[in-house]
Amino acid sequence: MTFLLEKESAQNEKILKPDFSTKSGREFLAIYLHGKFKQILDYDKNSETPIFKCVHNNFIPKFTKRIINNPEKHFLIGISGESASGKTTICNTIKQETEKLNMPVEILSADNYFKDISNLIKEHGSFDNLLASGYDVDSPNNFDMEQLFCDLEMLSRGQDVRIPQYLVNGTGVVVPKAIEKKAKKIIIVEGMATMYGKVADLFDVKIYVDINPDIQEKWFLYRAQTSRNQNKENALKQLAYVREASKKYIIPKKDTADIIINGASSLSYFTQIINYIYTITNNYSNPK
C-alpha cells in the first residue's frame, strides 16, 4: 500500500475536479472510485496480511448508484461482528487517522442502545448472576432499536443528535441523551445492533469483521481483565455465552455484509489504506 500511496502522491498531472453537484460530475466520481477501489483489492490480495476476505458482487454497483442518485444523504457505514473481533480497535484507528487528516467522519457505538437493565441486575445481585439465570442480553429485543433507527435517520439527513450512553461497569445503567454526535458526511456505527431489523437497511456499506476463535479468546480475556474488572473464570463463562449468542444473532447475518474483513490484520496496514482513500479523494486540481 505504501507503493500505491507514493505513486498517487507523485502524480504531476492531477485530475481536474468535476462539479459533484451535477449528475455527470457524480458519475465521473463513481467511475473513478470504482477503479481505485479495484486497485486496492488487487493490491490487498498480494499483501502479507490481507484485510479483505470477501467483497459482495453487487457492492460496487450499489455503492456507485448511491453516489450518483442520492448525493445529499450522509453516508452510513455499519461495522459488525462477534464480540472481541476487533471492531472497536478498528474504529479507534479510523478515528485517530481521520482526525489527523481532518476527514468528515463521526463514529458511534450501537452498544449504547442497550436497554437499561439496572433493576434486573439489582434483583439478581450482579451482572454475572443475571447471565447465569438465562437472561439473553444480546437478543435484539434488548436494544432500543426504534431510537437507534431514529437517530441514524437524523444523522443521515444532516441533523446532529444526542445518543444514550450504556455504562460498561456492570451496573446496566443507561444515561439518556448523554453523548453528542455530529452529522458529518460519513457516519460509522459499530456494534451487533447494526445487523438487526430495519436498522440494517439504513447502511450504505455493511462491514463484517471476521476473527479466528483463538485470537478472539485472547482478546476477550485481556479486555475483561484489564478494562472490565472481571476475573478469568467469569470472563470465560461470559465468553461461552457470547459465542452461543453469536451463533444465534450475529454469524447468520455474515452473508448479508457487503464486505468481510479480517479483524486480525495489521493496523499499520489498515492505516495506510485510510491514507490512500484520503489521497485519492483529494488528489484533484481545482478548476480556474
- Span 110-167, pLDDT tens digits: 999 999 999 999 999 988 889 889 888 888 899 999 999 999 999 999 999 999 999 9
Residue closest to 75 by CA, chosen among 261, 202, 243: 202
| Same-domain pairing of 38 and 83 | no
Query: Which residues of the chain fall short of a pLDDT of 70?
Result: 1-15, 283-288
Residue 132: the pLDDT is 84
Give pTM, 2 decimals: 0.90
What grid cell was written down for 10?
Answer: 507523485
| Same-domain pairing of 211 and 275 | no
| Same-domain pairing of 2 and 92 | no
Hey, what long-range contacts does 134-141 have (CB within 8 A, 24 or more apart)?
136/245, 137/245, 138/192, 138/242, 138/245, 138/246, 138/249, 139/245, 139/249, 140/193, 140/196, 140/197, 140/249
| Same-domain pairing of 21 and 68 | no
Residue 151: the pLDDT is 98
Residue 33: the pLDDT is 86
User: Which CATH number does the domain housing residue 75 bear?
Assistant: 3.40.50.300
Domain containing 10: what range?
1-51+266-288
Residue 204: the pLDDT is 94
